[in-house]
Amino acid sequence: RKVAVLVGGPDWPVSVLCGILGLDLLPVLIATIPVVALIVPTVLCGSFAYMGSLETDNGLDLYPWADTMGAVASALSAGAMFYFTLSAASAVKDTLLNCKDEIDAIPIDQAVAKADADAVKWDKAHRKAVVWTNVPVLIKHALIVSVLSMMACVYLLIVFNSKCFREYDLMYTIKENLGGKWYNIVLPLGRWALGFFAVSYLLLAGVFESWAKRETERVLKEEGTDEESEPLKLTEAATYA
């Protein structure tokens, strides 16, 4: 289970957590060795992509089999990533279910427990604040336009993908294939798609989320934030996180 978490978990958070817990470096490094099963096919995928771009003097592919092997290496890489991620999630779930008593017995930092409890209160207040019947008409319109804009963006990028962006291969260069300007990769229809995305994001994050934050703070104030939050147990905090 430890190997599964070290290999299948997100590398930066797992590495930082190992340092915070003060774990010995050598066992951690040894347990991370199985990640080679992911690194090797990933490197091969890039190597085959480069080999597939090479041509003879007659314009023929120097390695005609490279593209096929690149697809195989890519599939192996995706399979390894899926397996490691699933193993890590399964290991964490099994530990939380089978070692609940041992986990609850571990003293949790009170500041962390208080922060988790406050986060739970904020989440409940936020859910109450954004009930559709409580949302002002202007904010509702902003949300509707945001959804429609995102739908337009997605449809343009999926249905008319070839008309949104220029073809750009791994071995292409900006100077030779894009006229020296990186933004030439975006075609006019692609600019519309990106514009729809920008409108959707601004309405969601700039308008709705700003209103929701103020409304959540108002709900918390009405319910009384002076009441001390009950700290979460370690398993509850992990489940919430």
- 18, β-bridge pairs: none
Whether 203 and 139 have beta carbons less than 8 Å apart is answered as no
- Please tell me whether residues 119 and 9 are part of one structural domain: no
The pLDDT confidence band at residue 240, using thresholds 50, 70 and 90, is very low
Which bin fits 232, alpha (ψ -120 to 50), beta or left (φ > 0)? beta
Residue 103 lies in a domain: no
Q: Is the pLDDT of residue 232 over 70?
A: no
The pLDDT confidence band at residue 170, using thresholds 50, 70 and 90, is confident
Stretch 54-63: mean pLDDT, rounded?
84
- Please tell me whether residues 86 and 137 are part of one structural domain: no
- Please tell me whether residues 91 and 121 are part of one structural domain: no
For tokens 């010995």, what's the residue?
24
How far is Cα 216 from Cα 206, in angstroms, rounded to an integer? 16
Q: Which of 98, 118, 148 is the last residue of a domain?
A: 98
How far is Cα 94 from Cα 90, in angstroms, rounded to an integer? 6
